[in-house]
Amino acid sequence: VADETLVILSSTRQQNRTIRNDNELTRDRLSVEKMTPDTLALIFTSLKESEAGTYTCSAVYASSQTISKSVRIDTIYAITWIDAPEEQFPILGSRYKVKCKVQANPSPIVDWLRNGQQIISGTSEHYVIDTDGLVIQNV
């Protein structure tokens, strides 16, 4: 029968630690709760993007045999605008990049429209879609 204590990757000194991606986490935002007589859960207080990673749960049998199981935790977060000024001022006749850099998880798909019509990359030499904006040739 397994011990009731949940060890989340124990060290060689048998001190309980919580480890993610080989880095020790602080305990102020994590807790272990007993869900049923045989089940414990690692509880995050307001999961942060930086806490994504691989977590490993280890259990020790009375015979000192250790078994473990790893789980991958991914965070999903909404689109945030990194560089997308509302007002941009190109010079007529110049080459200009309309800046629009975003990030999210999963990675967002960015579409460009002009007067309600989608701009499709490669269909016009006038427009080039880049990872951080739309390049307009001869504004």
User: Does residue 106 have a cis bond before it (omega within 30 degrees)?
Assistant: yes
Q: How confident is the model at residue 71 (pLDDT cuts 50, 70, 90)?
A: confident
Q: Is the per-residue pLDDT at 3 higher than 80? A: no
Which residue's entry shows tokens 């305990």? Answer: 27
What value does the mean pLDDT take over residues 88-101?
A: 96
pLDDT at 55: 84
Give the pLDDT confidence score for residue 28 in this predicted structure: 66
Arithmetic mean of pLDDT, 2-20: 39
pLDDT at 2: 41
Q: Tell me the backbone φ, ψ of residue 17, rounded to 5 degrees.
A: -135, 155
Question: What is the residue-averaged pLDDT of the chain?
Answer: 79
> DSSP 3-state assignment of 117?
strand
**Contact by Cβ (8 Å): 49, 74:** no
DSSP per residue over 63-92, as a string?
A: TS-EEEEEEEE---EEEEEEE--S---PPT
Query: What is the model's pLDDT at position 20?
Result: 53
pTM: 0.56
Q: What is the pLDDT of residue 6?
A: 40
Gap between the Cα atoms of 3 and 5, Å rounded: 5
Work out the pLDDT band at 73, boundaries 50, 70, 90: confident
